[in-house]
Amino acid sequence: MRLPVNRSLFIPFIVAGDPSADLTVDLALALQDAGADVLELGVPYSDPLADGPTIQRAAARALAGQMTLPKAIQLVADMRKKGVKIPIIIFTYYNPVLQLGEESFFALAQENGADGVLIPDLPFEESGPLLELSERFGLPLISLVAPTSKQRIEQIASAAQGFLYCVSSLGVTGVRETLPESLGHFLGEVKRHSRVPVVVGFGISTPEQVAMLKDACDGVVVGSALVQKIEQLLERLQTSEEKNAAIAEFASYARSLAAPLREPCSSR
Amino acid sequence: MMEHVPNEHGRFGDFGGKFVPETLMLPLEEIETELDKALADESFRQEYIRILQHYSGRPTPLTFAPNLTRQLGGAKIYLKREDLNHTGAHKINNAIGQALLAKRMGKKKLIAETGAGQHGVAAATVAAHFGMECIVFMGEEDMKRQELNVFRMKLLGAEVVPVLSGNRTLKDATNEAIRYWVAHCDDHFYMIGSVVGPHPYPKMVREFQRVIGDEAKEQFLAGEGTLPDVIVACVGGGSNAIGMFYPFLQDDVRLVGVEAAGKGIDTPHHAATIAKGTKGVIHGAMTYLLQDEYGQIIEPYSISAGLDYPGVGPEHAYLASIGRVRYESVTDEEAVAAFQLLAQTEGIIPAIESAHAVAKAVELARQMTPDETVLICLSGRGDKDVQMMMHHLGVKEGEDVASAR
Ligand SMILES: Cc1ncc(COP(=O)(O)O)c(C=O)c1O
């Protein structure tokens, strides 16, 4: 996976098929235009244990539209055709991967132009077989570390590929008004052990939070805030006369979240 | 020869494991470490047994069912009376064990999920007993089906949180309990209600439920001088069944687990996970589950809230895969008939979950001879189901009256 260097990464997350497959492609393009460095493409799941209500609702909308793991992966090829060039990470729970077949999953992801995979309910201890496939297909399996990881940080960080995803605080995804005070210390600890960029996600929803985190890590993941924006724009996105304006509004919202990352470094 | 399960990775053969968000790995490891210490600690064991005896009323009796036996004309039927536990079901055995472990770990806040409300009531009860706080997640649909238990939990001082996602039943309550735990794992203890979930939960709950089988074995040997030929238990997540079966796994005894067939296993409306499910991951464990071809979990159905679950404990998946336990299923209608039959023949109203085991045992006993024996795990009593049953039977009688005219 090729990541831009000397630049804080802006990594948006959206759910494939929310509200439709075509619109997911449009929204991905809009995010690229808004300055996204990597796209996390979430695969909707009936029982997402790591997700809060916002992403649960997005998944329910996508599933109602018959989105599946193979279709979500095929969307990557559609995105490539329409000009999405940034790396795309397939974010999926483990069970759909098992049903598709672990090897077929990697083969399909590679074939369709994905750049990595992230499975939030597959901890290091259970990831053996997938790590081997990840290597064989050249698609990094992105690892997560959490505030509870403690002694596990070193082990996970030293094996991390692509980038390392830090969970900001205890809890599931969803916008948070405040982030824990200990976050800076935690990120520092992770950065000490990591050879790949360290990004932070879960709860990040305002430009102020992004600005605050900017110097403590190598990038931010924004999920629920963007998904919430899509939810607000649902009707307009699905009305042909208003679609373009709604997409533009979405892009400008995304740009506002990325903006603090693009300002000159405050500490140097 | 059976392997010793689970192994150090929490695997029962291919099943089990820990498929959870990274945040929960440390809490799980802490529980595992403390559980192993506690199980090896004689004083922990003694306190557990003491509370079971003096608070829950163990040992529960082994009751011969003479009238039912006579009526069927087949094998002799015995009941292991988990219905006589404090709070009315086997769930309290596990709740006491886990509360003691929580106490040992210095945690004073319990999280629980519940379907029928029996585990929720058990959790709320031990929370009151040990002076702990308790928050119970329950699907909104189950709150309607088991109104009485909702009120019981509140009386006991627990907070009951309605769950509005999915089908609003046990699966969804479990999701929500796990999500809450992820956010509060620093000071809360998640008290799971069955032999499901990530390692070490399936093992822990088995260890706190095996008292059922240990007692039954001793009682049966003392009374009959031999072991039963067949043992039958209902399987939701599978805790009463594992508790009963585990001490008999090495013996020459036929073990039969009974899943809920709802409206029939050839309809979409059932909860027969082993009969109709496929291998996958649910609530942190590799096991059999009801899912579509894309790995989305399918909503189960059963008249019984306690069996209405799309997964099954990984140890059951393992025992099914090696053929040690046979898993059968029983429909709503068969369970309702058995519910009435046991009430009328023996004066014992079973929980609708347990009635599934009774129905299968009746069928098996009929085909056996009077010198053979069948032991039923009567996991709970039916007080909680009386209202639902009144409704269920009342509607039917009305129809009968109308059609007779
Ligand atoms: C009386 C009774 N039996 C059985 C069950 C099913 O659980 P398990 O399969 O874990 O024993 C329940 C669950 O609520 C119950 O209340």
- In DSSP terms, which residues pair with A39 in a beta bridge? A88
Of A56, A69, A150, the CB nearest to B295: A69
- With a 6 A CB cut-off, is B92 part of the ligand 1 pocket? no
DSSP B266: T
Distance CA A193, CA A188 (A): 9
Would the CB atoms of B25 and A125 count as touching at under 8 Å?
yes
Of B22, B185, B296, the CB nearest to A45: B296
Of B27, B171, B293, the CB nearest to A148: B27
Assess whether B103 carries a catalytic annotation.
Answer: no
Residue B1's pLDDT is: 47
pTM score: 0.96
Q: Please check whether residue A87 is in contact with residue A116, taking contact to mean a CB–CB distance below 8 angstroms.
A: yes
User: Which mutation among B81, B82, B303, B307 tests ligand 1's pocket best, with the greatest number of atoms within 8 A of CB?
Assistant: B307
DSSP A74-116: HHHHHHHHTT--S-EEEE--HHHHHHH-HHHHHHHHHHTT--E
Give the long-range contacts of residues A51-55, CB within 8 A, separation 24 or more: A51/A172, A51/A173, A51/A174, A52/A171, A52/A172, A52/A173, A52/A174, A52/A224, A52/B179, A53/A174, A54/A173, A54/A174, A54/A175, A54/A224, A54/A227, A54/A228, A54/A231, A55/A15, A55/A173, A55/A174, A55/A223, A55/A224, A55/A227
| Residue B193 alpha carbon to ligand 1 centre in Å | 9
Of all helices (H) and strands (E), which one includes residue B327?
strand B325-331
- With a 6 A CB cut-off, is B311 part of the ligand 1 pocket? no
The rounded radius of gyration (Å) of the Cα atoms in chain A is: 17
Q: Has residue B332 got a pLDDT over 80?
A: yes
Helix, strand or coil for residue B106? coil
First to last CA, chain A: 28
B301 to A251, B11, B142, B369: CA distances (angstroms): 43, 28, 12, 35
| Residue B266 CB-density burial (10 A; 0-12 exposed, 13-18 middle, 19+ buried) | exposed
Helix, strand or coil for residue A143? strand
If we measure between CA atoms, which residue out of B131, B86, B114, B116 comes closest to residue B190? B114
Those residues of chain B whose CB sits closer than 8 Å to some CB in chain A are 9, 17-27, 165-166, 171, 175, 178-179, 182-186, 278-284, 291, 293-297
Q: Please check whether residue B182 is in contact with residue B295, taking contact to mean a CB–CB distance below 8 angstroms.
A: no
Output the average pLDDT for chain B. 95
B131 to A63, A120, B103, B128, B364: CA distances (angstroms): 43, 35, 10, 5, 45
Residue B2's pLDDT is: 58
| The dihedral sign for the CA sequence B363, B366, B367, B369 | positive
Which structural domains are found in chain A, ordered by start? Answer: 9-262 (3.20.20.70)
Instruction: Write the CB contacts of B281 (distance below 8 Å, at least 6 apart in sequence).
Output: A94, A95, A98, A121, B19, B287, B289
Residue B396's pLDDT is: 66
Distance CA B161, CA B363 (A): 40
Buried b (16+ CB within 10 A) or exposed e, B219-239: bbeeeeeebbbbbbbbbbbbb
CATH 3.40.50.1100 domain position(s) in chain B: 26-53+90-205, 59-88+210-403
For residue range A151-169, list pLDDT tens digits in order.
Answer: 999 999 999 999 999 999 9
| Residue B298 alpha carbon to ligand 1 centre in Å | 20
Which ligand 1 atom lies nearest to the CA of residue B205?
A: 10
Which ligand 1 atom lies nearest to the CA of residue B240?
A: 11
| Tokens, residue B68 | 């039912």
- Decide if domain B26-53+90-205 falls under CATH 3.40.50.300: no
Q: How far is A29 from chain B (nearest CA, A)?
A: 27
Average pLDDT of each block of 10 consecutive residues along chain A (268 residues)? 91 98 98 98 97 96 98 98 98 98 98 98 96 97 96 94 96 92 95 96 96 96 98 98 98 98 67
H helices within B135-210, ranges in order? 140-145, 147-155, 170-184, 201-209
Residue A264's pLDDT is: 73
Q: Would you give the distance in Å from CA B58 to the centre of its chain?
A: 18
Would the CB atoms of A95 and B175 count as touching at under 8 Å?
no
| The dihedral sign for the CA sequence A92, A94, A99, A103 | positive
Q: Has residue B402 got a pLDDT over 80?
A: no
For residue B399, what pLDDT band results from cuts at 50, 70 and 90? low
Would the CB atoms of B22 and A146 count as touching at under 8 Å?
yes
For residue range B290-316, list pLDDT tens digits in order.
Answer: 999 999 999 999 999 999 999 999 999
A202 to A184, A209, A222, B187, B309: CA distances (angstroms): 15, 12, 7, 21, 30
For residue B3, what pLDDT band results from cuts at 50, 70 and 90? low
Of all helices (H) and strands (E), which one includes residue B282?
strand B278-282
Question: Among A182-191, B141-150, B230-239, where is mean pLDDT lowest?
Answer: B141-150
If we measure between CA atoms, which residue out of A165, A154, A162 comes closest to residue A199? A165
Chains A, B: CB pairs < 8 Å: 113
CATH class held by domain B59-88+210-403? alpha beta
Residue B4's pLDDT is: 76
If we measure between CA atoms, which residue out of B321, B343, B303, B314 comes closest to residue B15? B314
Residue B114's pLDDT is: 97
Residue nearest to atom 12 of ligand 1 (CA): B306
For residue range B99-132, list pLDDT tens digits in order.
Answer: 999 999 999 999 999 998 999 999 999 999 999 9
| Residue B240 alpha carbon to ligand 1 centre in Å | 7
Distance CA B146, CA B154 (A): 13
Q: Please check whether residue A218 is in contact with residue A200, taking contact to mean a CB–CB distance below 8 angstroms.
A: no
Would the CB atoms of A152 and B25 count as touching at under 8 Å?
yes
Residue B398's pLDDT is: 59
Residue A268's pLDDT is: 39
If we measure between CA atoms, which residue out of A257, A231, A239, A243 comes closest to residue A26? A243
Q: Which residues of A touch B186 (CB under 8 A)?
A: 148, 170
| Residue B42 alpha carbon to ligand 1 centre in Å | 29
Helix, strand or coil for residue B24? helix
Q: Which residues of A touch B281 (CB under 8 A)?
A: 94-95, 98, 121
What mean pLDDT comes out for the span B6-34? 97
Q: For an interface test with B, which of A69, A102, A126 has the most B Cβ atoms less than 10 Å from its Cβ?
A: A126
Distance CA A47, CA A116 (A): 22
Assess whether B32 carries a catalytic annotation.
Answer: no
